[in-house]
Structure 1
Amino acid sequence: MSTERYRIQFDGGIVDGFSAEAVKANVQALFNVSSERASRLFDGTSRNLKKDLSLDQANRYRDRLLKAGAAVAIQPMDMVPPAFPGESAGAPEPDKPQYATSLSELAVEPVDGEEGMAVNSAAPAAAVAAGEGQGEPASTGPARFEARPVGSTPIQRPVRKTIDPEDFRDAEFRFTGRGGEYFGIWIVNILLTIVTFGIYSAWATVRNNQYFYANTQLEGASFQYLADPVTILKGRLTAFFAFILYALVVNLVPGAAIILGIGFMFAIPWIVIRSLRFRAINSAYRNVRFDFEASYADALMVMVAWPFLNLLALFLLTPFSVLKTHRFMGNGFRYGTTRFRFDSTNSEYYAFFGKGLLMAIGFAVGGIIAFTLISPKLAVLVFMAGYLSVFGYFMAGLTNIFVNNLTLRDHSLHSHLSPKQMLWIYLSNSALVVLTLGLFTPWAKVRMARYRAACTEMTIAGDLDGFVAAENRRTSALGQELGDAFDVGVAAF
């Protein structure tokens, strides 16, 4: 009896006679995953759907996937994958079947219990056997599966890079902080800041950030905040005296406000870059620091040019301006020496903002009708419901659209915040903070941080240990503190 173990490999290929959308729906039903995760399997990257299988187990998994229209292949675990798409990885043993050749030969019983992606045995038969592109096409008879050698180019495969043969897995972020625990830090920070006339605020900032970073975990490892409070204090004092000097000049020299205002407008991009870089370079994960790099010209466009053009265009450029801001931030961040990549389109952002606009218009029309035909009180309720719905939609949606378009090498980030849940947490937190005269603030912050972390995950290709730490550089806190003092900055959401 053979002891050789096998893996099921898939790189987005689709069997002849199936449509791409139907195959994605079939795979989603088989594995009981979200449509987003199912779609990622078809991006052309070679992935292992299952590993360490016996030949019989591998054949059964393959048969179910081929019946669903996914052109998968069986490979021995010890076979080195091809370096480039289409390059042969080596010939399999001739007595070991690799592909089924017709639907009648496919095994359809569910296979459960092994590691990796588990096939959903409860998936409806219609999801894998009925309709065009879902099993046997009605007009063409049984689908034909072309037998190909292992390592050859699968049917309709997008040509993309092949990665190391490791399973992709979803790792969830976790926030382990507690409101009562953070309350002790929060109240001491406030009291010491008051007693020291604000000097302790630099240490309070570091303690707050260290608490939230240390309690945010990914794959069992916590994030780190490494800033020096003395450096932050120096930056704040510089910003404070700059503000005093600005106020004196404006009061003593007529017309200086306009000149200084124009000068400050062109200083904003520099302040933003320095602020983002200071925060990034003092953040670390697994002892590898983050970084932020961007040009002054790009920051000037994001902070000054696009907002001004959007104003001239009567806010019709708002989706485009937000996209530019997200792209500026997403492409600017680094983890060690590896840059993040932000990849999205104008159409995605205009569709997102267009849906929000339609929601607002719908509630506005409903409010007007209620005011005209029923009662003003009902109209107020409709307008309030509309405002809250749109507010929750954008509060959750802007985070989701930014995070879902971020990748780090072969790893990708995902966010699935719910507008309703975000709105509920925000409103209930606000009400409790007011009712407790601010004492509920620590619990409110912890509650929101826990929910955001629970709704964020990273699809990891292999592991996160292959990153090389960038040079351990330091940067002045002046940029961040100028941003705080003059209330400027840039945010992704």
Structure 2
Amino acid sequence: METHEKFEFRGSAREWFGIWIVNLLLSIVTLGVYSAWAKVRSKKYFYQNTFVAGRNFDYHATGQQILIGRAIVVAALLVFALSAQFLPPLAAALLIAYVAVFPVLLVRSLRFDARNSSWSNVRFDFVGKLGQLYLLIFVYPVLSILTLYTTWPFVQRAIQRYGINNHRLGTTSFHFDSKIGPFYMAFLAAVGIVLVGVALVAGVIFGQITSTANEALFANPILLLNLFLSYLVILLAAAFASVVYQAIIRNHIFAHTKLGENKHGFVSTVKPLSLLWIAVSNLIVVLFSLGLMLPWATVRMQRYLAENSALVPNGSLDDFTGDVLTETNAIGDAYSDIEGIELELPV
């Protein structure tokens, strides 16, 4: 019988609120300078309070590393903005350079985050190659567009393979592989939910537009209200579809990811409706509290994801070894912070 070592989040909303409010106030007072240290404090809190098999994660980057990286990235973006204003040809050249260097920064970001993260005092690593990432960013999506997105599940599977298979725990490799069927099932489920939302409002709106064809749109407030509500319904359907897709894919990826030659496994039991309820209720509470309940919402989501994740050991968990990793700078990581880019293991 398989033994499941459940992930556990031991933090509390009260503790996290204290860290969060100090981070926020100091970041405002220092005009954003302290945000580099705020990021480190935030990651350390969530990593150090996440346990599996009685051992916790940790984050080892420093605020100074991240601040230097951010300063360089902000300077580069400032040069681009000034060029766009005064030297458009130079701005165009910089934009081309920006696009070309984008995968380099993303790889550096992934490597920086991995090498500054650990579990049971063993560091992670990322060894992804640039050539593969260029294909993922510039070639596969274009091919998917040319097929009217009917091949998008292949792109998603390729992204997961790249992200997971190139991560290491010490010198031990993760491995993910899967048939394409489950990715298509999740994709079609999401598309189906959106289409149902569109169908729900299409008939009503079409009928109203037909009946008021000779009347100015802005002279009919009821029609305008119904149009707004229709957009809202479609937006909610898209959000629901996204949550369902993420839950299905997360569960599937965990089930098909292995660690090391012993093939330690993983399990995710996230339920789409439960995840949707937490996401929606969190949003409502945060909005009505004017943001003050954000720490509570964050801890609530973190705890749910942890409680629905598990490691399935297949042998000893004491065999992981780590290399002495060379320092990597935070430029790629800083860029990913500014642009909101994330590509990582779905843990």
Alpha-carbon distance in 1 for matches of 2:81, 2:130? 27
- Secondary structure of the structure 1 residue equivalent to 2:302: helix
Write the letter of the residue equivalent to 2:251: N
Which position in structure 2 is the counterpart of 1:302?
A: 136
Q: CA deviation at 1:445?
A: 0.6
Q: For residues 404-456 of structure 1, what are the alpha-carbon distances to aligned partners after superposition, in whole Å with 9 as ceiling and x for unaligned?
A: 32110210112121111111111111111111111101111100000000111
1:390 aligns with 2:241: yes
Partner AA of 2:286 in structure 1: V
- What residue is the counterpart of 1:446 in the other structure? 299
Question: Which amino acid in structure 2 is aligned with residue 439 of structure 1?
Answer: L
Deviation at 1:359, TM superposition (A): 3.1
Aligned-residue offset at 1:382: 6.6
Native 8 Å contact 1:173 1:218 kept in 2: yes
Looking at structure 2, the residues matched to 385 and 270 of structure 1 have their Cα atoms a distance apart, in angstroms, of 36
> How far 1:489 sits from its partner (Å)?
4.3
Is residue 433 of structure 1 aligned with residue 286 of structure 2? yes
| Structure 1 residues 223 and 251: alpha-carbon distance in aligned structure 2, compared to 1, 3 A threshold | same
Check if 1:360 corresponds to 2:194.
yes
Q: Is the 8 A contact 1:268 1:488 kept in 2?
A: no
* Larger Rg over CA atoms: 1
Deviation beyond 4 Å, 4+ runs, structure 1? 369-377, 379-385
- Residue 480, structure 1, aligned to residue 333, structure 2: yes
Counterparts of 2:112 and 2:343 in 1: how far apart (Å)? 14
Mark the CA change 1:334 to 1:169 in structure 2 (over 3 Å): closer, same or farther.
same
Match of 2:271 in 1: 418
1:107-186 equivalence runs, <5 A: 117=1, 168-186=2-20
Are the structure 2 counterparts of residues 247 and 384 from structure 1 closer, same or farther at C-alpha, using a change threshold of 3 Å?
A: closer
Cα distance in 2 between the residues matched to 1:237 and 1:475: 16
Aligned partner of 1:277 among 99, 111, 115: 111
Give the Å deviation of 1:470: 2.0
CA distance in 1, matches of 2:206, 2:272: 30
Cα distance, 1:310 vs. partner?
A: 2.2
Shift of 1:309: 2.4
Task: Name the aligned partner's letter for residue 204 of structure 1.
Answer: A
Q: Using structure 1 for the length normalisation, give the TM-score.
A: 0.62
Question: What are the equivalent positions in structure 2 for 1:368-379 lying under 5 Å apart?
Answer: 368=202
Change (3 A) 1:353 1:369: same
Partner in structure 2 of residue 126 of structure 1 = none
Structure with more of its chain in helix, by fraction: 2
Specify the code of the residue in structure 2 equivalent to 1:283.
Answer: S
Other-structure match for 2:169: 335
| 2:257 matches 1:406 | yes
Residue aligned with 2:328, SS? coil
Task: Encode CA deviations 1:39-97: one digit per residue, 9 max, x unaligned.
Answer: xxxxxxxxxxxxxxxxxxxxxxxxxxxxxxxxxxxxxxxxxxxxxxxxxxxxxxxxxxx
- Counterparts of residues 80-99 of structure 1 (less than 5 Å): none
Q: Distance in 1 between matches of 2:188 and 2:125?
A: 34
Correspondence 1:192 to 2:19 = no
Identity, in percent, stands at 34
**Matched residues in 1 for 2:83 and 2:32: separation?**
25
Cα distance change, pair 488–266 in 1 and its aligned pair in 2 (3 A) = farther
Give how far 1:169 is off.
1.3
Tell me the CA shift for residue 491 of structure 1: 4.8
| Cα pair 1:227 1:282 within 8 Å, conserved | yes
Task: Name the counterpart of 1:231.
Answer: 65
Measured in 2, the distance between the counterparts of 1:236 and 1:373 equals 53
Letter in 2 for 1:316: T
Note closer, same or farther for the CA distance 1:227–1:444 as it changes in structure 2 (3 Å cut): same
Matched, 1:293 2:144: no
Work out which structure has the larger RCO, using CA pairs closer than 8 Å and 6 or more positions apart in sequence.
Answer: 2
SS of 1:458's equivalent in the other structure is strand
The offset of 1:257, in angstroms, is 3.0
2:296 is equivalent to residue 462 of structure 1: no
Partners of 1:266 and 1:412 in 2: how far apart? 37
* Distance in 2 (alpha carbons) for counterparts of 1:385 and 1:238: 39
The residue aligned with 1:204 is 38
Contact 2:110 2:344 in 1 (8 A): no
CA distance in 2 between counterparts of 1:209 and 1:384 reads 31
- The CA distance in 2 between the partners of 1:232 and 1:488, in whole Å, is 16
Match of 1:84 in 2: none
Paired with 1:307 and 1:396, the residues of 2 have a C-alpha distance of: 23
SS of alignment partner, residue 461 of structure 1: coil
- Aligned-partner Cα distance in 2 for 1:438–1:201: 18
Measured on the aligned residues, the alpha-carbon RMSD in Å equals 2.4
